[in-house]
Amino acid sequence: MAAKEPRHPLEKRELLHREPPDTARIDGVASALLDAGRFGEALDYVEVTRNAKLIERIEAESVKRGSAFLLQAVERLRGTKADTARWTEVATSALANERYVDAVRAYASLGDEARAEEIRVRHCPDYEPFKPLGK
């Protein structure tokens, strides 16, 4: 039986911040959320346990959807940058799925600023990527 998602924010807080954590339930809730396609919400739970299998599912979905957000979350969870091939897959998938902001972010992560700008100007001219002051 799948673990049930907490119904109340206080219950969620208790689950996520309990010492020691109830990793079986946390992973169960995360898995159920992933099964439901609720990847952003599942990240709250995966961040606690850092279950490698769940992280792999999120990474695979980042490529399938073309989601730069999900791949950046995977990088944060693993503490390492994704390789160039993975970012290229996300960029290609983002374009195929018409996720142009994600494509811009993916190409920027690859260091291909010219391609990122070309996509931004053509498909999402109102999107202004974050630029740190003085850069």
Residues 71 and 112 in one domain: yes
pTM of this structure = 0.88
Q: Establish if 21 belongs to a structural domain.
A: yes
Residues 37 and 1 in one domain: yes
Residue 128's pLDDT is 86
- The predicted-structure confidence for 3-15, as pLDDT tens digits, reads as follows 889 999 999 999 9
Phi (first) and psi of residue 133, to 5 degrees: -60, 140
- The predicted-structure confidence for 104-113, as pLDDT tens digits, reads as follows 999 999 999 9
Q: Establish if 40 belongs to a structural domain.
A: yes
Residues 110 and 69 in one domain: yes
Can you give the pLDDT of all 135 residues of the chain as single tens digits? 468 899 999 999 999 999 999 999 999 999 999 999 999 999 999 999 999 999 999 999 999 999 999 999 999 999 999 999 999 999 999 999 999 999 999 999 999 999 999 999 999 999 887 776 665
Tally of domains within the chain: 2
Q: Is the dihedral of CA 78, 84, 86, 89 positive or negative?
A: positive
Q: CA angle, corner 119, sides to 114 and 122, nearest 5?
A: 120
Q: Establish if 83 belongs to a structural domain.
A: yes
